């Protein structure tokens, strides 16, 4: 997949593998992310240091990420180094050695990454929410895995998992920038052997709906963190565009309803926002707020109040128009990023088998009206399906009960 942008002097190249944490089981959870780390520790052609220097030595950068459904290795460099970027990325995806010495060291690195995440409550709380929403389904697994799993991984386990999943039928190679499609095709044919590919091993199981859960966690932190969420819609859903508009209106940016109410009107939070995660056959929608421990209940009530308003009262035409303009403008501005264009190419191919034209996206957004938003809110915001995760600054249950009683007395 390519998108030629002749007026720039750079190119972003990505190798996408259609595998992520949802393809793991309880004993292999974390292996997709760990392989993403380990490929940088040496290949048949390059040492770890040579990999590090390969793109940086020409002024570019090299990186990777793992998500619930995908693993992506990507590089950005001047257009004259497109061949080098493609060669390095192919080497990472096709030729990793997983050296035993580096394996044990990298386990320690990823375990530290895991512990660092646990020390970042506004980040890790989303993992807790997904566990509550998806239960034992693999979508409820954290992408990074668990410490016990990480310690158990061996070279043989990594080799086997990579061989089953890093296959041509699950691979997309994408480039955006100053590069012609036929030139990039030559680079891909040169670096990726053309061979028969087995089909996907196993099928992805769709998660089932379940009742909401309430989970309280004591942590040695100063601020309380709250995440409310429910199962949402897949990226294939016809409700996709309405959901994007609703999310923007509710909790994306300073003009959103949540920001204006929870932060600006009441001063209960520095950070409050809503989010919509859409996957191939599932999705989630939620709201996050960081607040003082004394304002947990009040902040939660304000959030649920905003959700109820969207269900009971149509949004004005002016607010719908303003929100759609904000969303479309944000999409257009993001396309000024060459790496973002490459990301859009790769993910679109994996999810849809094609790149949806921007004009088509904008037309779908323009169709959304107040009736669509209200109907979606009524379907999505069912309180019995909402899960609630609260990170409390370390205190006893008795202290929490006393705080709730004091708050109720102060806010009759």
CA distance 343 to 174: 8
How far is the CA of 17 from the CAs of 94, 173, 349, in angstroms?
11, 9, 11
Q: For the beta carbon of residue 103, count every other beta carbon within 10 angstroms.
A: 18
Q: Hey, which residues are catalytic here?
A: 36
58 token code pair: 């020409």
CA 247 vs. chain centroid, Å, equals: 16
How far is the CA of 411 from the CAs of 42, 294, 301, 382, 399, in angstroms?
61, 11, 12, 25, 18
Burial of 277 (0-12, 13-18, 19+ CB in 10 A): buried
In contact, 232 and 242? CB cutoff 8 Å: no
In contact, 266 and 302? CB cutoff 8 Å: yes
CA distance 238 to 379: 14
The torsion angles phi and psi of 86, rounded to 5 degrees, stand at -65, -40
Could you tell me where the beta strands, DSSP code E, fall in 188-282? 214-219, 224-231, 269-278
In contact, 267 and 383? CB cutoff 8 Å: no
In contact, 338 and 275? CB cutoff 8 Å: no
Q: Which residue has the tokens 């599932």?
A: 282
In contact, 55 and 61? CB cutoff 8 Å: yes
Q: For the beta carbon of residue 346, count every other beta carbon within 10 angstroms.
A: 23
Contacts of 132 (CB under 8 A, 6+ apart): 140, 212, 213, 215, 229, 387, 389
In contact, 70 and 347? CB cutoff 8 Å: yes
CA distance 29 to 141: 7
CA distance 173 to 1: 6
**Closest among 227, 207, 208 to 216, alpha carbons compared:** 227
105 token code pair: 């060291």
């Amino acid at each position: 997949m390519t998108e030629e942008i002749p007026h720039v002097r750079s190119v972003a190249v990505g190798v996408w593998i259609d595998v992520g944490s949802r393809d793991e089981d309880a004993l292999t959870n974390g292996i997709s992310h760990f392989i993403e780390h380990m490929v940088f520790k040496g290949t048949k052609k390059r040492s770890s240091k040579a990999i590090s220097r390969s793109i940086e030595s020409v002024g570019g950068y090299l990186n990777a990420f793992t998500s619930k459904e995908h693993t992506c290795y990507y590089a950005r460099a001047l257009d004259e180094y497109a061949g080098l970027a493609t060669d390095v990325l192919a080497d990472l995806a096709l030729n990793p050695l997983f050296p035993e010495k580096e394996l044990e060291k990298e386990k320690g690195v990823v375990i530290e990454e895991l512990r660092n995440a646990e020390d970042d409550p506004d980040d890790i709380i989303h993992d807790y929410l997904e566990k509550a929403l998806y239960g034992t389904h693999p979508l409820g697994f954290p992408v990074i895995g668990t410490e016990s799993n990480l310690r158990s991984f061996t070279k043989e386990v990594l080799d086997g998992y990579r061989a089953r999943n890093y296959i041509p039928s699950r691979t997309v190679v994408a480039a955006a920038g100053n590069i012609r499609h036929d030139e990039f095709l030559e680079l891909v044919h040169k670096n990726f052997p053309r061979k028969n590919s087995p089909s996907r091993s196993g099928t992805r199981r769709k998660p089932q709906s379940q009742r909401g859960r309430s989970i309280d966690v004591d942590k040695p932190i100063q601020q309380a963190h709250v995440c409310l969420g429910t199962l949402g819609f897949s990226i294939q859903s016809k409700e996709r565009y309405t959901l994007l508009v609703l999310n923007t209106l509710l909790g994306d940016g300073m003009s959103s309803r949540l920001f204006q109410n929870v932060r600006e009107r009441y001063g209960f939070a520095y950070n409050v926002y809503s989010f919509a995660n859409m996957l191939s056959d599932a999705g989630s929608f939620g709201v996050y707020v960081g607040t003082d421990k004394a304002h947990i209940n009040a902040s939660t009530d304000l959030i649920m109040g905003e959700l109820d308003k969207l269900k009971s009262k149509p949004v004005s035409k002016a607010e719908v128009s303003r929100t759609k303009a904000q969303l479309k403008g944000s999409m257009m501005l993001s396309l000024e990023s060459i790496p973002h264009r490459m990301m859009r190419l790769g993910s679109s191919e994996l999810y849809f088998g094609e790149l949806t034209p921007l004009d088509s996206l904008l037309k779908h957004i323009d169709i959304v009206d107040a009736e669509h938003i209200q109907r979606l809110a009524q379907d999505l915001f069912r309180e019995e399906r909402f899960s609630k995760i609260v990170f409390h600054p370390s205190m006893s249950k008795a202290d929490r009960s006393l705080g709730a009683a004091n708050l109720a007395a102060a806010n009759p």
